[in-house]
Amino acid sequence: MNDHFYIAPIMLLILLLPAAYIYDKHAESMAQKYTKNMELSILKITEPSTWSKVYHCHIKSDKIDTDCKIVCYKDSQIIRSVIFPKEWREKNKEIYKYHAYIANIIKKQIERVYF
C-alpha cells in the first residue's frame, strides 16, 4: 500500500521532464520566429549607478519594433536584464510570453556585436 506513495513522485517526474523539454524547445523556436531578421541599434548609453551601465536600444525584426533597455554590470559587461517598455508588453502579450528567450537572443547579439 505504501509502494504507491514512492512511485507517484517518480512517475510525475518522468512525465514532467519531457513536457518541460518540449516547452523549452517550443519557446526557443517562437523566440527565433519573433526575432527573425533582427536589427539592434544602440541609441545611447547611461550609467545610472556605480554598478550598472544601461544601453538604450531599438530592436527591429519581422515581429518586433520597439525600444528596450539592456542593463549590464559596469565592470564586467555581463548583461543583467533586457527591459521592454510597459506599453509594448501590454500590447504584445503573445510575444512577451517568450520574453526570457527573446532576451537571451538579444543578449547573444549584443555580446557578439558590441562587447
pLDDT in tens, 5-21: 678 788 888 888 888 99
Q: How far apart are CA 89 and CA 99, in angstroms?
A: 9
Q: How far apart are CA 115 and CA 77, in angstroms?
A: 7
Question: Using an 8 Å Cβ cutoff, are 79 and 71 in contact?
Answer: yes
How many residues are recorded in the chain? 115
Where does 7-94 show beta strands of DSSP type E? 39-46, 52-60, 65-73, 79-83
The single-letter DSSP state of residue 43 is E
Total-model pTM: 0.79
**How many Cβ atoms sit within 10 Å of the Cβ of residue 31?**
21
86: CB partners within 8 A, 6+ apart? none
pLDDT in tens, 23-79: 999 999 999 999 999 999 999 999 988 888 999 999 999 999 999 999 998 887 788
Domains of the chain: 33-114 (3.10.450)
